[in-house]
Chain A
């Protein structure tokens, strides 16, 4: 059972090659906290319904915590349930924390002589260095090699917001906001700018879905595409929590990859003013 979950997660993580992928998300119980020694509970899950735990937990070992000073933070009381992972953060530093998932690597697909489709890394496989050379037949039919990255972020602020955890590391698809992510209010539109390996990219697709899917008939997704500067403008329909996913792919890849693709996911909370 455990193996199946892990396998499914890894399969889903090897995203861009697969036609359909599940939605990953991290949901902090609160994103703005006051007090001397605040604690916050965070849930992490993989499910297509936003934000309902009904599929797989997003396992804690895929996640890390960055503290306002840029150092790693501790996840307390980690528990993995059938449908979600949960943990607590003790916000001992003032400022903005980040919960992060960051994965990247080579992916390959090809066809055998018999016409069967093959993927690497395979189901449940964690690639080791040198595996690409050993396990991917370079002469195979329709061989496609891509470099893909997935980055997921959620922000939590104790006291006044800070910017250290917002710094881009210029790898994969990343997002910069015109307003601090813990300063979003429903009456103020925000501009989001997307960067691939550090450069703004046009044509990235951005999907933003409001919380509470169970109580409506449609996804109510905002579907946007970045302009020449890599930007999209978002008018929040209302206060609440939103799941954001952006995707981008092009052929500016480093060999042996012929494509590079990035996925960026964030949970954003918008308050009423």
Chain B
């Protein structure tokens, strides 16, 4: 009797582990710049379902301050602004955060996998920097994930190496 119960628990646990293993994360590089005036870039990571064009916001980094002055430049991530940003009320828990200095960051997107719809999806990474430029990158992936894969895309100006990691 005891052993059966244990087996049952083990099975349930195994299922849970399996469910949690579905993973979506992105490694994002903000390149260092040798410039006289540098401001951290605004960065938005969002996913658009190709068929329905529904959008799920992953991460938005912008200047968060007392007077909401930093919101003035959100529109500079212009595709993000047009597709979703302008309809949002920032800050958003779990999505918005302060800007980051140059470096490589691992961003866990597991908090939004529950919202993704099946089929082809487009993951967008958009960066805009004051006194700098704007860059948009995108990576296509199928959801749900069938096999582990990592997709890479290389930025040229405002973004560096991007690696999207998908685990079934």
Question: Which DSSP category, helix, strand, loop or mixed, fits chain B's interface?
Answer: helix
* Residue of A32, A34, A185, A273 most packed against chain B (CB within 10 A): A34
Task: Tell me, rounded to whole Å, the shortest Cβ–Cβ distance linking B155 to chain A.
Answer: 18
Task: Please determine whether A35 and B78 come into contact, CB atoms closer than 8 angstroms.
Answer: no
In chain B, what residue has the closest Cβ to A158?
Answer: B86
Cβ of A34 and Cβ of B68 under 8 Å apart? no
User: Is A32 touching B81 in the complex (CB atoms < 8 A)?
Assistant: yes
B79 contacts A by Cβ under 8 Å: yes
Shortest distance between the CB of A270 and any CB in chain B (Å): 12
Q: 10 tightest CB-CB pairs across the interface, nearest first?
A: A35-B72, A34-B75, A36-B68, A35-B71, A34-B74, A160-B86, A160-B87, A159-B86, A32-B75, A34-B71
Closest to A30 in B: B75
Which residues of A are in contact with B by a Cβ distance under 8 Å?
Answer: 32-38, 157, 159-161, 183, 185, 271-273
Contact of B86 among A34, A36, A271 (CB under 8 A): A34
Contacts of B73 in A (CB 8 A): 34
B82 to chain A, nearest CB (A): 7
Q: List 28 A-B contacts (CB under 8 A).
A: A32-B81, A32-B86, A33-B75, A34-B71, A34-B72, A34-B73, A34-B74, A34-B81, A34-B85, A34-B86, A35-B68, A35-B69, A35-B71, A35-B72, A35-B74, A36-B67, A36-B68, A36-B71, A157-B86, A159-B86, A159-B87, A160-B86, A160-B87, A161-B86, A183-B82, A185-B82, A271-B82, A272-B78
Within 8 Å CB of B75, what residues of A?
32-34
C-alpha gap A108/B43 in the complex (Å) = 60
Tell me, rounded to whole Å, the shortest Cβ–Cβ distance linking B79 to chain A: 7
CA distance A161 to B81 in the complex (A): 11
Q: Are A271 and B85 in contact (CB under 8 A)?
A: no
Most chain A CB within 10 A, of B71, B73, B74, B79, is at: B71
**A28: min CB distance to chain B, Å:** 14
> What chain B residues lie within 8 Å of A157 (beta carbons)?
86
For B73-112 the 0/1 string (1 means CB < 8 A from A) is 1110011011001110000000000000000000000000
Task: List the A side residues contacting B81 at CB < 8 Å.
Answer: 32, 34
Query: Smallest distance from the beta carbon of A57 to chain B beta carbons, Å?
Result: 28
Whole-angstrom CA separation of A36 from B64 in the bound complex: 12
- With a cutoff of 8 Å between Cβ atoms, the chain A residues found around residue B79 in the complex are 273
16 further interface pairs, Cβ-Cβ under 8 Å (given A34-B81, A159-B86): A32-B81, A33-B75, A34-B71, A34-B73, A34-B74, A34-B86, A35-B68, A35-B71, A36-B67, A36-B68, A36-B71, A159-B87, A160-B86, A271-B78, A271-B82, A272-B78
Write out the residue numbers on chain B whose beta carbons fall within 8 Å of the beta carbon of A183.
Answer: 82
Residue of A nearest to B89 (CB): A159
How many Å lie between the Cα of A34 and that of B72 in the bound state? 5
Give per-residue flags for B119-157: 1 if the beta carbon is below 8 A from chain A beta carbons, else 0: 000000000000000000000000000000000000000
Is the Cβ of A38 less than 8 Å from the Cβ of B72?
A: yes
